């Protein structure tokens, strides 16, 4: 991995090439629908949030029920559950 000093050395040795690459990268980034893609990712994440929370809550409720059953069976070993 190149260090910052190596990068600066390359830019100083070929400034026009570095400028051209920077302009090309900027142009490509302006052509890509970055904000639309980020918006799509955000919408999908928010749409999946409700079902994920529902599943998580169900899992926690199941753990609580199992813990209470285990606690009841330990307190009274002669009592079948």
Q: Give the pLDDT confidence of 10-48 residue by residue, as tens digits.
A: 889 999 999 999 999 999 888 888 888 899 999 999 999
Q: What does the DSSP 8-state code read for residue 78?
A: T
CA distance linking residue 23 with residue 52, whole number of Å: 42
Q: Which helix (H) or strand (E) holds 39?
A: helix 34-75
pLDDT attached to residue 3:
87
Q: Where are the domains of the chain?
A: 1-32, 34-74
Q: With 60 as the cut, is the pLDDT of residue 51 above it?
A: yes
């Amino acid at each position: 991995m190149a260090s910052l000093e190596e990068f600066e050395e390359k830019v100083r040795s070929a400034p026009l090439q570095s400028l051209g690459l920077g302009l090309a990268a900027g142009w490509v980034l302006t052509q890509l629908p970055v904000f639309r893609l980020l918006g799509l990712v955000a919408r999908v994440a928010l749409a999946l949030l409700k079902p994920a929370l529902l599943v998580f809550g169900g899992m926690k409720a199941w753990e609580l029920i199992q813990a209470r059953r285990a606690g009841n069976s330990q307190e009274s070993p002669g009592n079948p559950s």
